[in-house]
Amino acid sequence: MEQQEIPLVISYLYLRRVIGILGILFPIILVIGSMAAGGCREIQTSISDYYHTNMRDVFVGVMCVIALFLFSYRGYSYQDNLAGNLACIFALCVAFFPTSAPEPLPPCNNPAVFHNPLTGKIHRVSAGLFFTVLAYFSLFLFTKGVSMPTPQKLLRNKIYRICGFVIIGCVVLLILYFSIPSLELRLEKFKPVFWIKTMALWAFGASWLIKGQYLLRDR
């Protein structure tokens, strides 16, 4: 590798690590921030519901940062670049088309937030497509490699696939949850949407941390 290419490689590694860290810390920051400074006494029904709390700017800001990093990401082929651009677009839609406000409105939610029913539908579809593209990264792009992979690479590929299938599983669970009204009524008190999305974000974050060689790097 030429000397001038080394800083570029390092910058991409850090870019991947930052994306991974943001994915893992995102739900934690929202929960702690809303409880510490927003008067929320419990976890919101969904991560997206934090848009309607004092953490609205944080929610939008982090999604925009993730979108920017994904747009800046460049892989080995046009598929990598296309996936990054699509994930960027879907992340921006999640940020700027808020989910429907919960009913009844919790005490720590902002009743003055503008809401259009159409934005809630766009938000859900965008979130599903966003997670689907993230799963594609883990299952098909991150697993690419040389013809004779190292033991660490083989282990990384297994974890990438696990993370990808976890994300896909979360998307399927969300579709089932929102498609069956009776199921939604029975399980709402357990905050299943929040935990499913959190699991998907943690799987996404873990795969990007590993891709950034923060864990399981080649010897």
Q: Establish if 218 belongs to a structural domain.
A: no
Q: Establish if 49 belongs to a structural domain.
A: yes
Q: How many CA atoms lie within 13 A of 28 on its CB side?
A: 8
The total number of structural domains that make up the chain: 1
Task: Provide the H-helix boundaries in 73-150.
Answer: 78-96, 117-136
**Per-residue pLDDT, 112:** 62
Residue 56 identity (one-letter amino acid): R
Neighbours of 146 (CB within 10 A): 7
Q: Establish if 57 belongs to a structural domain.
A: yes
Indicate the pTM of the whole model: 0.90
Q: Establish if 216 belongs to a structural domain.
A: no
C-alpha 126/C-alpha 120 separation (Å) is: 10
Chain-centroid distance, C-alpha 214: 18
Q: Establish if 219 belongs to a structural domain.
A: no
**Per-residue pLDDT, 114:** 59
CB neighbour list of residue 102: distance below 8 Å, 6 or more residues apart: 44, 45, 49, 52, 109
**Per-residue pLDDT, 106:** 78
Q: Establish if 189 belongs to a structural domain.
A: yes
Per-residue pLDDT tens, the chain, 219 aa: give them: 444 445 555 577 888 899 999 999 999 999 999 999 988 999 999 999 999 999 999 999 999 999 999 998 776 778 888 999 999 999 999 999 999 887 777 788 886 665 678 899 999 999 999 999 999 999 999 998 777 888 899 999 999 999 999 999 999 999 999 999 888 788 988 999 999 999 999 999 999 999 988 877 877
Q: Establish if 180 belongs to a structural domain.
A: yes
Domain holding 196, by residue range, is: 3-211
| CB 66, CB 91: distance < 8 Å | yes
| CB 56, CB 106: distance < 8 Å | no
**Per-residue pLDDT, 174:** 95
Q: How many CA atoms lie within 13 A of 20 on its CB side?
A: 21
Q: Establish if 217 belongs to a structural domain.
A: no
